[in-house]
Structure 1
């Protein structure tokens, strides 16, 4: 125990000596709340605001009621665009073309072809085009209903089945983008915060010949690995806790009530989050040490371990596209934590059995990685990067 304490003290001293590297390591904890706040406000603004859209309308004089309806929805002719936005809307070039026979076709009850021309692949036009199409479809449905009423036909005959949707989701599950971002940033903090310490204490010490000198002492390799793992994991835990606290503080400044959502973490939810994230910090550090020890140089270790950091973002992204997830994904590290954290932020009851099993699997895999690293450090090829 004395040897382990001495090794841990040495690792912590070296980790905290470089204040700039430590600051960069914990930067994720300070950047995540800012990004969450910005993304949340942007999403709420897109969902609640109806900014002015400027469309090149041709033949609008033949459809005054449609023009009034468009204006009520803040969809205006291109001729009214402000001077400072003129270039933007000219580049977007949204055209709404009404036929010259619009009024006559309307009186005769004929089908009217209205052309909406734009670059449908331009992501910036997705929301404007959706608003324009909704207005035109609403106008078309209203005219159709009026025509049926004039002919003495009950409009309800056109809707023999009425679907009543009842949303059973909790109020917290409304802002899905916020939920996914929160879970991803918390797991990213576990992987990013201890990254520099893990690389420096493994590949870095090997290049400085510190690792060779350390292994020449009568010290068990298991204690060396555990000391390095504890140091890197300690920094990762600090990063996760900071990210969780600051993110919860930042979300308090976001008015989620505008989209009918709430966000509140009680003691049980926080306990479940910590139970999921703290073992993940040790698993992330063990994974980074494992690949860093396997690299032949410090530069190679940086490249390899950086790929490992992408796992918390890549795995949830893949899961979002899987409709039928295999059962084993509920228990494996990263995927299991991702799904459970998502459920917690949705306000669903905590599945403690799944939390416990996922945590157990994460701890077991971490122990396996530690055991493998301890055995590998007994080989001169690994220590001297000969293979």
Structure 2
């Protein structure tokens, strides 16, 4: 144990003096909070377009009452450009509402009054505004139709056989978790990013410099060497996780999500539980990186291999964000998948059963232990011979 602590201290001190190791542990995990900021900008822009979009209208004088009704619905009516088609194609405006001169005459005669929407269906960025305007026009059309029926002594309910009511039972925290779907993904990546440079330098780096063979000649067991290097990698990985979690907490507090219609919050207590939950995953990440680094003969080879391996835990998180699954014993026991499921429940404010945590921890620790044991076997005569 004392030898393992000596190796652990040496690796930590060496990497604390290395700017590359510190930048990997402190800066790369901040990519997650930065991505949350980018998503907030996109969501806020979409929210602004949906709540009070600017709608260019050509021929607004032909339908003053309809234009007033659209303004009451929250639309901001502005003058249309001289050439609506060209303006929409260039992307200057999302759409243009064109009201012909015959609108009022057709409406008074009881005929369908034509209104043209000039849109570009290939522009996804305009879809929110187009849907908002189309819904407002449809609503005005239905109200006008109902008034016509009443004028003829017909109950408007006759032509409305279905009255749909949507009851959303989701909590505000659960709806806000949709925006925080990237948090588990980036926290899982942080388990691998923080200790990447430490693992490479402690294995393939020392092997390339020739210092690993000299270390193996000392009367220290292979288990102590692996434990020390694994512990140092784990510490830097956990630093990356803490930095990422703290960044998400700050982002959730600083960014004005309420203005974008989200009651989003990431309390520090939840962040602490996320970090605690990720300790076994950080151990697995350290075990994988030390194992791959030991197999590699050069720093560049280890860097390429570990960079690829570090992306593996992101795949289940990305799939679960697109295809949500209910936690089962099989999924919980699968490394990375189980953590993604439990973190999603934490972010939604839902309770987590102790049995689920045990299954996740046992599954991850078992794989980490197997990798650590394999690494110990590699630290032997074969590694000393340079094979």
TM-score, length basis structure 2: 0.85
* Greater CA drift, 5-14 or 243-252: 243-252
* 1:360 is the counterpart of 2:362: yes
Q: Say which SS state the counterpart of residue 163 (structure 1) adopts.
A: coil
* 1:263 is the counterpart of 2:265: yes
Q: Say which SS state the counterpart of residue 347 (structure 1) adopts.
A: coil
Within 1, Cα distance between the matches of 2:158 and 2:262? 34
Deviations 1:31-69 (A, max 9, x none): 5445434543653453256455353x4554433333334
The answer for the alignment partner of 1:83 in structure 2 is none
The answer for the alignment partner of 1:340 in structure 2 is 342
Alpha-carbon shift at residue 231 of structure 1 (Å): 0.4
8 A contact 1:94–1:118 mirrored in 2:
yes
Alpha-carbon shift at residue 234 of structure 1 (Å): 0.3
Alpha-carbon shift at residue 20 of structure 1 (Å): 4.3
Structure 2 CA distance for partners of 1:146 and 1:105, relative to 1, 3 Å: same
8 A contact 1:54–1:76 mirrored in 2:
yes
Alpha-carbon shift at residue 133 of structure 1 (Å): 1.8
Alignment of 1:213-292 (within 5 A): 213-258=214-259, 259=261, 261-263=263-265, 265=267, 267=269, 269-270=270-271, 272-292=273-293
Alpha-carbon shift at residue 70 of structure 1 (Å): 4.1
Within 2, Cα distance between the matches of 1:256 and 1:323? 24
Within 1, Cα distance between the matches of 2:25 and 2:358? 29
Deviations 1:314-354 (A, max 9, x none): 32221223255683223322111112111111111122221
Within 2, Cα distance between the matches of 1:169 and 1:378? 56
Within 2, Cα distance between the matches of 1:60 and 1:377? 80
The answer for the alignment partner of 1:126 in structure 2 is 127
8 A contact 1:272–1:350 mirrored in 2:
no
The answer for the alignment partner of 1:65 in structure 2 is 65
Alpha-carbon shift at residue 25 of structure 1 (Å): 2.5
Within 2, Cα distance between the matches of 1:379 and 1:321? 47
8 A contact 1:275–1:355 mirrored in 2:
no
Within 1, Cα distance between the matches of 2:208 and 2:79? 67
Q: Say which SS state the counterpart of residue 252 (structure 1) adopts.
A: helix
Structure 2 CA distance for partners of 1:110 and 1:323, relative to 1, 3 Å: farther
* 1:16 is the counterpart of 2:16: yes
Alpha-carbon shift at residue 173 of structure 1 (Å): 1.6
The answer for the alignment partner of 2:165 in structure 1 is 164
Structure 2: which 5+ residue stretches go unaligned? none
The answer for the alignment partner of 2:305 in structure 1 is 304
8 A contact 2:88–2:95 mirrored in 1:
no
Q: Say which SS state the counterpart of residue 168 (structure 1) adopts.
A: coil
Within 2, Cα distance between the matches of 1:358 and 1:213? 39
TM-score, length basis structure 1: 0.85
The answer for the alignment partner of 2:209 in structure 1 is 208
8 A contact 1:211–1:383 mirrored in 2:
no
Within 2, Cα distance between the matches of 1:261 and 1:365? 38
The answer for the alignment partner of 1:190 in structure 2 is 191
Match of 1:76 among 62, 75, 78: 78
Structure 2 CA distance for partners of 1:277 and 1:149, relative to 1, 3 Å: same
Alpha-carbon shift at residue 306 of structure 1 (Å): 1.4
